[in-house]
Amino acid sequence: MIACLWLILAKGNPGLSIVQICLKAAGNKIGGFIALLYISFFIQTASWVTRNLGDFMKSTLMPNTPISAFHFMFLIVACYASVKGVESIARVNELLSPAVVFILITMCLFSVAEWKWERFEPMFRLNVWETMRETKAIIGFPFLEVISLMMLVPYVKSRVKTALLLGIGLATLFLSGIIFVTIGVLGVTRASHFTYPLFIIAQELRIAEFIERVETSIVIVWLIWIFVKLCIVYYCAVTGICELFRLKDRTWIAIPLILLVSGFAVSFYDNVVENIEWDKRYIFQYASLYGVVFPLLLIILTRIRRNRNKDGGGSL
């Protein structure tokens, strides 16, 4: 439903990114301020993604390595991808996603050997309103962050509606499947005590009694997909700045942005627990501002401006 809101906005402003739509619908002053807020949202999202990558690498693989080293390692490559353009990011995603999906599905199928239906009991004994209130953070992260893809709409020649809705649908299906497998294998109580439960499933997985410790497969899956997300939001931030201030060369925006994103990534919170608690309390409200409130406002302003242009044209 929220994605349909974005599609209505894109249809009313064909060939324009979200920053360009802000300037066209609300004018240079108000629209420029909203566009600047969207750019800050892209930068903050890139910082959160960078910190998530760093936390995962430090807590599971290299605990003695400074987290800033991971940040700079990922951001330098994301900067290079942003300078090269969105086509390079899209081609890498197109190349690697099938292999990643295959690895994830294969691992989930092998983990079914540890499956127990008893871990889902008791079922259907819940307070619907309380459950919705406690799980609203899932809508903010990651679904409302998809508004970042509105920066890429001008580069999509056809089937924008199909691609966006199909992508969100498949992402929902994969996330639901992962949660289903996690509960069936680990159980709710045990899974809730792990920061990365799917990593634990892969770590404990045994295949044919001699293949074990296949957690590197999950590392590959997460690093590829999260890194692609980092490249996209980093590119959106760079492109948004260039469109707002009418700059032609992305290079001199992308390079200094490494320092800004890495600085935010370190200063937002001290550990993973603080990140999780902040997401539970505030991410839905914060992301709704950019994913629901501003798009609604821009749709209203677009229609008002269109009606004024029609009236003006008719009077002439």
Report pLDDT digits (tens) over 151-179. Answer: 998 888 778 888 888 989 988 898 888 88
pTM here?
A: 0.91
- Region 7-23: mean pLDDT is 92
Residue with tokens 């004024």: 308
**Helix or strand or coil: residue 48?**
helix
Answer yes or no: is pLDDT of 228 > 70: yes
Q: Place 314 in a pLDDT band, splitting at 50, 70 and 90.
A: very low
Answer yes or no: is pLDDT of 313 > 60: no
- Higher local confidence (pLDDT), 146 or 60: 146
Residue spans of alpha helices (H) in the chain: 2-12, 18-60, 67-84, 86-110, 128-134, 137-138, 160-186, 188-191, 197-204, 215-245, 251-267, 272-278, 284-288, 294-315
Q: What is the pLDDT of residue 148?
A: 93
- Higher local confidence (pLDDT), 231 or 199: 231
Domains of the chain, with CATH numbers? Answer: 1-312 (1.20.1740.10)
Q: What is the pLDDT of residue 219?
A: 82
| 200-227 pLDDT, tens digit each | 888 887 776 666 667 777 788 888 888 8
- Higher local confidence (pLDDT), 106 or 244: 244
Q: What is the pLDDT of residue 20?
A: 95
Answer yes or no: is pLDDT of 88 > 70: yes
Q: Place 195 in a pLDDT band, splitting at 50, 70 and 90.
A: confident
Q: What is the pLDDT of residue 142?
A: 84
- Output the DSSP codes for 62-107: -TTS-HHHHHHHHHHHHHHHHHH-HHHHHHHHHHHHHHHHHHHHHH
Residues 278, 269: Cα–Cα separation, whole Å: 9
- Region 67-89: mean pLDDT is 93
- Region 82-94: mean pLDDT is 91
Answer yes or no: is pLDDT of 7 > 50: yes
Q: What is the pLDDT of residue 124?
A: 58
Residues 206, 208: Cα–Cα separation, whole Å: 7
Count how many residues are written for the chain: 316
